[in-house]
Structure 1
């Protein structure tokens, strides 16, 4: 997950209207946790401390040092956050991006894990990434199985009709 953080920091000032790009302006191929459709792009990240992540994101430090994870112990919790760019405004100048989260257990069982607005407001400035409003937090108690989980987020720009699905993996340990 550290490479994901490094990639995110490198991309922070460089999100463009033609998918994700690297520091030289070259397009980055989609991965399961970072996808794009035209100028609309979404990335899913996990953090053990959503409040701290949001405070760091909103700080004046450029680039911010964001704390992400891909593991959690029984008794702990993680939050899935969405970072995006390129939403389309409606005739009133407002974007309408929504998401739904799904938790897939090690045995393949899928459980709906909430939904909500990623963004309902004016689009961000060109070439900037936006931290989504909604998130999903999941806790694991002693009765939950350990193993490899997936968190799936289905995101839709309701104005343009573009839809993306991103996946991040989570290892739950004792």
Structure 2
């Protein structure tokens, strides 16, 4: 997960208008946690401290050193955040991107885990990534099973009609 974040940081100034690209301009293939459709791209990241992640993201010192995780212990929480580029503005010049989160347990059971607006404002400058407004935070207590979980976000750009689903894997331990 941390190598993926390092790649993301390297891509901050290089988000493409046609999917994700690496620093040399070559396309990056879609993966479970990072997808694109034309100029619309979504990535899901997990962090143990959403507030610190957002503060670091918004700091003026590039590139930010963002902390992500793919494990959480019983008694702790984890947040899923969405990073995106390329939303389509409506006739008023405003994007309308929304998400729904689903948490899948080790036994395959699925539960809705919230959602809301990812972005409802003017599009960001070309070639820049935006941290979405929506997030999902889930806590695990001693009654929850340990094991492998999945967090899925289905993200829709309501103006363009494009829909992308991204998944992050999470290991819950004792």
- Is the partner of 2:20 in helix, strand or coil? coil
Q: Which runs of 5+ in 1 are unaligned?
A: none
Q: 1:41-79: CA deviations, max 9, x gaps?
A: 000000000000000000001110000000000000000
Q: Which residue of 1 aligns with 2:140?
A: 140
Match of 2:33 in 1: 33
Corresponding residue number in structure 2 for 1:17: 17
SS at 2:120 equivalent: strand
- Please name the residue that 2:114 is paired with: 114
Counterparts of 1:18 and 1:37, CA distance in 2: 8
Distance, in Å, in 2 between the alignment partners of 1:101 and 1:77 is 16
Alignment TM-score, normalising by the size of structure 1: 0.99
Distance 1:173 1:12 in 2: 32
User: Greater shift after overlay, 9-18 or 161-170?
Assistant: 9-18
Q: Matched residues in 2 for 1:40 and 1:146: separation?
A: 35
Rounded Cα–Cα distance in structure 2 between residues aligned with 1:3 and 1:139: 25
Query: 2 CA distance for matches of 1:30 and 1:61?
Result: 28
Residue 64 of structure 2 corresponds to 64
After superposition, residues 45-124 of structure 1 pair within 5 angstroms as: 45-124=45-124
Report the Cα offset of residue 3 of structure 1: 1.1
Alpha-carbon distance between aligned partners in 2 of 1:130 and 1:2, rounded to the nearest angstrom: 19
Provide the aligned length of Structure 1 versus Structure 2. Answer: 174
Runs of 4+ in 1 over 6 A off after TM superposition: none
Task: Measure, in 2, the Cα distance between the counterparts of 1:53 and 1:2.
Answer: 14
Structure 2: gaps (5+ residues): none
